[in-house]
Each structure stands twice: as structure tokens, then as C-alpha cells.
Amino acid sequence: MISELNKSDFYKCNGLVNEKGHMEVKAVIEGVNPGRIFVDNLVSPNSGLIWLGNNDGFFFIGKEDNEGFNSEINNFIDKVIVPEAKKVGLNWFEGIGNHQKWNKIIEKIFEHRKLGSWNQRVYMLENYNGSDEPMIEQGYSVLKISKTLYKNNENSLINIDFLHSKVSEFWSSADLFFNDGIGYCIVHNNKIVCICFSGFAAGNVHCIDIETLEDYRGKKLAQKVAHRFVKDCLENDKVPYWDCMEVNKPSIAVAENIGFTNVFNYVGYDFPFE
């Protein structure tokens, strides 16, 4: 029977983690980022499903050939996951195996659904190209995301909600973000137009989330703010981690320009909730 683990018991999943796999999994299990974990056995789990707190996917962890878990997962998704997902406006299941052996299992157990897939790339920094940091147009300022900036007491930033929504998407609270994450933004005419911050964090590894407002793309703002983020990591013994879709050519170009190297790739699967 698949059941939900209490957060105080997340540590029981430590042995199910692929150490060379996705750091989002580690971030949830370590309790740094929000998420829920469903397992086959509450005392000694062998397989599990992690639901990321930002609703950005589900990770399958542990034994991929666990017949008991695999035979129940479809019913569990339909009866437990779907109703709760729809409450938060989620209409798709996006599943990822924490190690590659899960891929064939996912394809098999969901073969009766309208299963699609996509490819992701993970990059780690190997040779930082600091000399390639671009100049940006006058009137644009790179600012560290501090508590003062976040509180916006003087109401100088007209779209502070953009920052608040990004942080709350990944973190249980702003305090947790300031304790465990780092971030930078670019401001133009009192408007935040680009953000780069720790979406997930596990140990000293920080997964980069970056977004530029549509009207401001093509100005090398993402590249500029990513350089600042990376420098902060290097100065404070943190490891930047870049995960993006294979079709996201602009994101890949920024990563490779800065000096990130593709260290592993993985497949994501999706299907619509009926």
C-alpha cells in the first residue's frame, strides 16, 4: 500500500537516492525545499514518489522493479494525486526517474495513458569564463536579492510581486530562502526585469532558476545576472547546478557561454489527468 511519509521521516529515503542524480530529490528529502513523499513502506521504504512543492514534477526513487509499488501507482495517482493536483490547477502528471532504470518501468506502467516525453540536460560548472561577462545597457542595475529588497519597504519596486511569487514557488518561506539560498535580479525603471536565484538547494549545491520578462529578452540580461550568481557561488564555496530542457536553446547557450559542462541527461514523461 502506498502511503505518505511524515516530513520527520523523510530521512528514511536517504538510501533510495541516486547520488549522481537530480538534486531536487535531495533538496526535498533534506527538508530544504517543500515537497511530499509517498512510499511503499512507512517503516523501511524501497520505492517512492516525490511530489515537488513547486508542482514542477514527480520523481520516482528507489527500486524500479518493486512489483507491489508499481502495480498500485496508477490507482494511487487517480485516487489521491489527481484530486489534490486539480485543486491547485495542475492538469498534467510529469514523471521523472531518479535513475535511468526507471525509464522503461515508467513507459510500461503508463502505457495505457496518453504518454509523452521530453529530454532534459543537467550542467555543472567546470571552467568559469568570467572574462565573458557581458556589458548591459545603461539604466539597468544588478542587485543582490536581500531581505531589504524583498520587503520593498519604500515601495520603490513596482512589481515586487514578481519576486515574491518566484521565491514562494520554490521555498516554504522567504526566511528559508534567505537562510539557504542566494539570488540576484536586474532592475530597470524600478521594475524587476530578470531574476536568477536558488530554486532548490541541497548541501552546497544550488539549482539555478532564471527568468527574464518577455519584453526584456535578447539584451543579455540572463547571462549578466547568471554571472553574478555564479561568482557568488564561487566566492562562498557553493556549487551552481543548471537544469534545462534540451529544446531551450537560449538557456543552453547561456550556460555553455559561462563555462557550464553537460554532465548528464534524462527523460521526463507526461500525461494529462483525465
CB atoms under 10 Å from CB of 213, counted, come to 16
- 194-212 residue pLDDT tens: 999 999 999 999 999 999 9
Return the pLDDT at 242.
Answer: 97
**CA 246, chain centre distance (Å):** 15
The rounded percent of the chain whose pLDDT value lies above 90 is: 95
Residues constituting the chain: 274
Q: Are strands 239-245 and 205-212 parallel, antiparallel or unpaired?
A: parallel
Q: What is the mean pLDDT of residues 103-113?
A: 97
Return the pLDDT at 265.
Answer: 97
- The answer to whether residue 132 scores a pLDDT higher than 90 is no
Return the pLDDT at 155.
Answer: 78
Reported for 199-203, long-range contacts at CB under 8 A and 24+ positions apart, including other chains, are: 199/54, 199/170, 200/23, 200/24, 200/27, 200/32, 200/33, 200/170, 201/27, 201/32, 201/33, 202/23, 202/26, 202/27, 202/30, 202/32, 203/26, 203/30
Could you tell me the pTM of the whole model? 0.93
Find out whether 226 and 241 touch, Cβ atoms under 8 Å. no
